[in-house]
């Protein structure tokens, strides 16, 4: 693996991770795209040495075709995922007017209750008492 591939993988993964932690779904989708590219480069760079295209009859050392086949599958699957994710973002926009992920309502409720009970000094929320 060359130092360039190494750096490229590092940057793609870092940028991808960074974007994945966004609230905006579009940005998350961008993150998926970037990190997906990172994975593809990763597999090619670590899975085979550079060489000639693996077509029998060509001269020189042929590159390993298996990682290429794997990555090809991965690329197409990545496209499918990205397409669906973007449609999700679009649908989210038609509902809320933005593409940001909201927090889960029920979880928030539990958090709030937990905070309340903490304040009241271990008195449980009336709803939580067994009936």
Partner 1 sequence: MVFFAAVVAHFAVAVLALIGLRRRPVIAACAGLVVLAGTALVVVTQAIGATSAPRKTIEWLPLLGFNFTFQVDGFAVVMALLVSLLGFGVLAYSIAYFEHDATFTRFVGLFMAFAGSMTGLVLAEDLFTMFIFWELTSVWSFLLIGLHDKSEVARRSAVRALLTTGAGGLCMLVGIGLLQNQFGTTSFAQLREAAPTGKMASVAASLLLLGAFTKSAQFPFHFWLPGAMAAPTPVSAYLHSATMVKAGIVLLARTAPIFGDTGVWRWWVVLAGVITMLIGGWRALRETDAKLVLAHSTVSQLGLLTVLFGIGSPYATYAGVAHLVAHAIFKAGLFLGVGVIDHELGTRDVSKIGAARRSVPVSVVAIGACLLSMAGIIPLFGFATKEKALVALLDAEFGLVGSIALWGIVAGSVFSVAYSVRLLHALVRTPNDSASNDEHHAHHEASALVRTTLAAPVVVAAVVSLGFGFAASTVGSWLVSPSSALDVKAVSKLALWPGINDALLISLVVIAIGAVIGWKAPLEDNSAQQPQGERVFDAVYDATIAGAKRITAVIQPGSLPIYVGVTLLLVSIAPLSATFVDGFGSLSGLTSGTALEASVSIIAIVLALGVAVLQSRFTGAMFLGGVGYAIAALFALRGAPDLAVTQLLVETLTIVVFLLALRAMTRITTRPVARFPQITRMFIAATVGIAIPLLALAARDARTAPSASQEYFARSVDEAGGRNVVNVILVDFRGFDTMGEIVVLAIAALGVANLVRAAEQHRRAAISVKEVAGS
Partner 2 sequence: MSSLVALPILIPLVAAALMLVVRNLFAQRAISFVALLSSLATATAVLVDVWNTGDIAVSRLGGWPGSFAITLVSDGLSSVLVVVALVVTTTVLLFAVGQQTPDEHSPYYHPVYMALVAGISQAFLAGDLFNLFVAFEVLLMASYVLLTLEGNRAQIRSGTTYVVLNIIESVVLVMAVGLIFAATGTVSFAELPERIAALPDGVRMGLHLLLLVAFGIKAAVFPLFSWLPDSYPTAPSSASAVFAGLLTKVGVYCLIRVQTLLFPGELSNVVMIVGVSTMAIGVLGAISQHDMKRILSFHIISQIGYMVFGLGIGGAVAIAATIFYLIHHIPVKTSLFLVEGIIERNTGSSSLDDVSGLARKSPLLAVLFLIPAMSLAGFPPLSGFLAKFALVRGGLSAEQYIGVGVAIVVSLLTLVSMVKIWVGAFWGEVAPTSLINSVGVLRQHRSMATATAILVGFTLVIAVAAGPLYEFASRASDQLLNIERYISAVRSAS
Partner 3 sequence: MIKSKILEELIDRWLTKVGTLVAIFITFRGHNAPGGGFAGGLILGAVFVLQYLAGQQPTIRRKPILNPERLLGLGLLLALVTTATPLFVGGAPLESYIWSITLPQIGKVKIVSSTFFDFGVFFVVVAVVLMVLTFLGTRGGAISHEPTDGAG
The residues binding partner 2 (CB under 8 A) are: 20, 25, 28, 32, 35-36, 39, 42-43, 46-47, 66-67, 70-71, 73-74, 77, 80-81, 84-85, 88, 91-92, 95-96, 101-102, 104, 106-107, 110, 114, 127-128, 130-131
Contacts of 34 (CB under 8 A, 6+ apart): 12, 15, 16, 19
Tokens of 86: 């973007």
122 binds partner 1 (CB under 8 A): yes
Residue appearing with tokens 């309502």:
105
What track of x and - describes contact with partner 1 for positions 10 through 49 (by CB under 8 A)?
xxxxxx-xxxxxxxx-xx-xx--xx--xx-xxx-xxxxx-
Q: How far apart are CA 91 and CA 88, in angstroms?
A: 5
């Amino acid at each position: 693996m060359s130092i360039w591939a190494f750096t490229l993988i590092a940057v793609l993964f870092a940028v991808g991770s960074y974007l994945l932690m966004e609230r905006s779904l579009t940005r998350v989708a961008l993150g998926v795209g970037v990190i997906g590219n990172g994975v593809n480069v990763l597999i090619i760079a670590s899975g085979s040495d550079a060489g000639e295209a693996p077509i029998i009859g060509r001269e020189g050392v042929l590159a390993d075709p298996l990682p290429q086949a794997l990555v090809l599958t991965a690329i197409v699957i990545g496209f499918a995922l990205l397409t669906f994710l973007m449609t999700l973002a679009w649908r989210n926009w038609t509902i809320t007017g933005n593409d940001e992920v909201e927090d889960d309502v029920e979880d928030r409720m539990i958090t709030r209750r937990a905070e309340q009970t903490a304040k009241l000094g271990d008195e449980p929320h009336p709803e939580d008492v067994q009936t």
